[in-house]
Structure 1
Amino acid sequence: MAAEISYDEARALRKAGKILPLSTVIAQAQVVKPGKVIEIQLDEDDGQYEYEIELLDANGRVWEMEFNATDGALMDLELDD
């Protein structure tokens, strides 16, 4: 089960070099699916940090993406129904 990370925890993880800056992951998300970011969440699941990003594309579709917060790898991409 994933646990949401607070802003203060995220800032400490970033300062410690354990996660990538949010701006880096948003830039990667924009390459995968250009559009407007509408929601971002940082979670910890089984010891792994993940950014979950929801993005609205030019056609009005919402995409959900999961990125590894440590190395920026795209882990999942889904069209939200």
Structure 2
Amino acid sequence: MNAPPPLFMRSGMFAMTEFKGTDVTSVYFAIPIRARQRWFHGYCQLTDRHNPEKMCAPIIAHETYAMDSMTREES
């Protein structure tokens, strides 16, 4: 049994063709954080075609902040 092709593929990002709702689908994307490639998954509403890119900004902010915060050993 073959898997269906992605709905779309962009640089470091693709969306599944199986929708979870009328216009919500899974999006997988790669974000370089601290010179390391990390993969993330999210559900995205595709009525606005820029929503997949908008999902990246809060993840980058959160992951960058998490790396800058002190550990228990440092406090």
TM value normalised by structure 2:
0.37
Q: Which has the larger radius of gyration?
A: 2
